[in-house]
A and B are shown apart, each in its own frame.
Chain A
Amino acid sequence: MEGNSVEEVEIQCISNLNTLKQYLCQQDNSENAFYFSNIPEKCKEFPCILGIDEAGRGPVLGPMVYGTALCCVNDSAQLAALECADSKALTEEKRDKLFETICGSPDLLGWGVEIISPNSICNSMLSRTKYSLNQVSMDSAIGLIRAAVKAGVNIEHIYVDTVGPPEKYQAYLLSLFPNFKITVAKKADSTYSIVSAASICAKVVRDHALSVWDFQEFKSNVKDSIGNFGSGYPGDPVTKKFLTDYCDMVFGYPMLVRFSWQTAQTALDKSAYLVEWEDEDEEPKTPAGNTAITSFFKSTSKSIVRAKHDFFIKRNLKNIVDF
């Protein structure tokens, strides 16, 4: 953790919840982080299935995490024995336990996550050429597949929990990875065990990223007083209270918050100073010299003002007598 005087060894391998937390503390939470476990040797040799799912897409707080899990097709029975289920259907304790089982089976399973920071989500959604959350999500899934390919995984079949209409997404992934079987489905996290495992990795990593969240904008005494900020879902009263209590009139919120969410925007419109951004197109609205033809028949008392030279216009230079 930043500001921690104890020199910590950089975590290379996440093998349980403890090392996961240490790893998360070592990341700059305003940026994305990417982690991939070691790949079981047999997964490089024999055909594998690979599942992909996400956690934290909806909430106004914290990172969105994309997770993947992989194992040999022949080990399906062993995978089923772990009793992974849709992460949302499990209690937090059960998820944490299953996560440790997944990490603790390096000869059976490989797994990886991309932690997409709230700041990175806002920056994408509020960029000039809008980069939608759907696209961010797909690109993250694609990144995980590429990382598995690069690590030498012998992929046979990829199962993905869908973002939007499954047919379109599946066709898109197939166009990028024509050599793999790809199944994109709704509720894949409860249908396919390998997607369940991926969803557990993603969900546990997101939950712990929140639990160790280091508010870089606050001094330690403020950090300690923050306490709980809730689930991050707009309806959660704890989250609502957090958004009210930690709103800065000028800057809005700490970087934990996704500014691009309607909930955050509405709250800022109500309680923070109004901020106006420069127009996307700075071009003048009516073309210069475009005078209505009828104007030539009207008498005008206005004196003709000579237009400023282009040099000044291009530099926003004006004569100011009042300010």
Chain B
Amino acid sequence: MATIHIQSGKNSVNYQTKNVKIQSIPCKIHADCDAKVSQYFNTYVKEKKDSDSILTASFRGYPLEGKEIQLPKGYKGVILHESVRPDNDTDDRKFYCVNTFDSFTYWNWNKTPTGNDKMIKALDWIKIAEALHAPIEEE
């Protein structure tokens, strides 16, 4: 199996994206490109009335409800970019880290984010993995 390399992208890819907020929206946009998020999206992000830090926004007219999710302490989210994807399965792949984040906004379509959402629950795995991989201390 091919090896995957992950490198710092400081010199290779634009680092302007540093510190931008990460938004996870409940749809798939069939594109991989820059998007005018602050113009078209952030402009309309508002706090939902009478709610506890739930946010509202719209994407292409669809109503969204969002929540800021903090990554567990000691973890970092990374956004990777691959300049050229090899055309076979055996060559090594190179990814550049273009951004890191400690929190992201998780959006649902017309549904308040709760602990029952898959994305939020997926973070449980981190704790379980820690427990599974922790060295066993003999007493």
Contact across chains for B39 and A278 when beta carbons are under 8 A apart: no
**Cβ of A248 < 8 Å from any Cβ of B?**
yes
Which residues of chain A have C-beta atoms less than 8 A from B35's C-beta? Answer: 250-251
Q: Knowing A250-B31, A250-B36, A255-B58, say if A277 contacts B43 (CB, 8 Å).
A: no
Q: Does A260 contact B (CB under 8 A)?
A: yes
- Knowing A218-B39, A248-B40, the reply to whether A128 touches B27 (Cβ < 8 A) is no
What's the minimum C-beta distance from B28 to chain A, rounded to whole angstroms? 5
Enumerate A121-150 residues with CB–CB distance to B below 8 Å: 122-123, 125-128
Q: How large is the interface on A (under 10, 10 to 19, 20 to 34, 35 or more residues)?
A: 35 or more
User: Which residue of A30, A259, A277, A322 contacts B44 across the interface (Cβ within 8 Å)?
Assistant: A30
Residues of B within 8 A of A268 (CB): 60
The listed residue (A123, A264, A314) touching B62 by CB distance below 8 A is A123
The answer to whether A251 and B40 touch (CB under 8 A), given A127-B63, A127-B110, A316-B122, is yes
- Which residue of A is nearest B82, CB measured? A323
Q: Cβ of B27 and Cβ of A277 under 8 Å apart?
A: yes
Contacts of B44 in A (CB 8 A): 30, 119, 216, 255
A217 touches B121 (CB 8 A): no
A301–B28 CA distance with the chains assembled, in angstroms:
36
Q: Considering the chains assembled together, what is the distance between the CA atoms of A316 and B109 in angstroms? A: 17
How far, in whole Å, are A193 and B60 apart by their CA atoms in the complex?
40
Q: Is A93 close to B, CB under 8 A?
A: no
Whether B29 lies near A273 (C-beta < 8 A) is yes
Is B41 in the interface zone, CB < 8 Å from A?
Answer: yes
Given the interface pairs A251-B59, A277-B27, the reply to whether A315 lies near B122 with Cβ below 8 Å is yes
Which A residues are in CB contact (< 8 Å) with B27?
275-278
What mask results when residues 94 to 129 of chain B are scored 1 for a CB within 8 Å of chain A, else 0? 000000000000000111000000110110110000
- Bound-state CA distance A42–B94 (Å) is 79
Is B30's beta carbon under 8 Å from chain A?
Answer: yes
Residues of chain B within 8 A (CB-CB) of A316 are 118-119, 122
- Give, as a whole number of angstroms, the nearest-CB distance from B79 to chain A: 14
Query: Known contacts A250-B36, A275-B28, A316-B119; is A217 also within 8 Å of B59 by CB?
Result: no
Nearest chain A residue, comparing its CB with the CB of B43? A216
Q: Is the CB of B36 within 8 A of A248?
A: yes
When the two chains form their complex, are residues A119 and B58 in contact, meaning their CB atoms are under 8 A apart? yes
Bitwise interface map of A from 250 to 270 toward B, beta carbon under 8 Å scored 1, else 0: 111011001110001000100
**B89 interface residue, CB < 8 Å from A?**
yes
Do A119 and B61 form a contact, CB below 8 Å, given A217-B40, A250-B33? yes
Closest to B31 in A: A273
Whether the pair B1, A315 counts as a contact (CB closer than 8 A) is no
CA distance in complex: A276, B44 (Å): 21
Check B40 against A259 for contact (C-beta < 8 Å): no
What CA separation (Å) do A78 and B33 show in the bound complex?
Answer: 63
* B26 within 8 A of partner (CB): yes
A293 CB within 8 Å of chain B: no
- Minimum CB–CB distance from A125 to chain B (whole Å) comes to 8
CB distance from B70 to the nearest CB of A (A): 18
- The answer to whether A122 touches B31 (Cβ under 8 A) is no
Complex Cα gap A276–B125 (Å)? 27
Task: Given A251-B59, A277-B62, check contact A317 B125 (CB 8 Å).
Answer: yes
B residues touching A (Cβ–Cβ < 8 Å)?
Answer: 1, 26-31, 33, 35-36, 39-41, 43-44, 58-63, 89, 109-111, 118-119, 121-122, 124-125
What are some 26 contacts across the A-B interface (CB < 8 A)? A122-B58, A123-B58, A123-B62, A128-B111, A217-B36, A217-B39, A217-B40, A217-B43, A249-B33, A250-B36, A250-B40, A251-B59, A259-B60, A275-B27, A275-B28, A275-B59, A276-B27, A276-B28, A276-B30, A277-B27, A277-B62, A314-B118, A314-B121, A315-B118, A315-B121, A317-B125
List residues of chain A with CB under 8 Å of any chain B CB. 30, 119, 122-123, 125-128, 216-218, 248-252, 254-255, 258-260, 264, 268, 273-278, 314-317, 321-322
Given contact pairs A123-B61, A217-B39, A276-B28, a sample of 17 additional A-B residue pairs in the complex whose CB atoms are under 8 Å apart: A30-B44, A123-B63, A126-B63, A127-B63, A128-B109, A128-B111, A216-B43, A218-B39, A251-B60, A274-B30, A275-B30, A275-B60, A276-B27, A278-B27, A315-B118, A315-B121, A315-B125
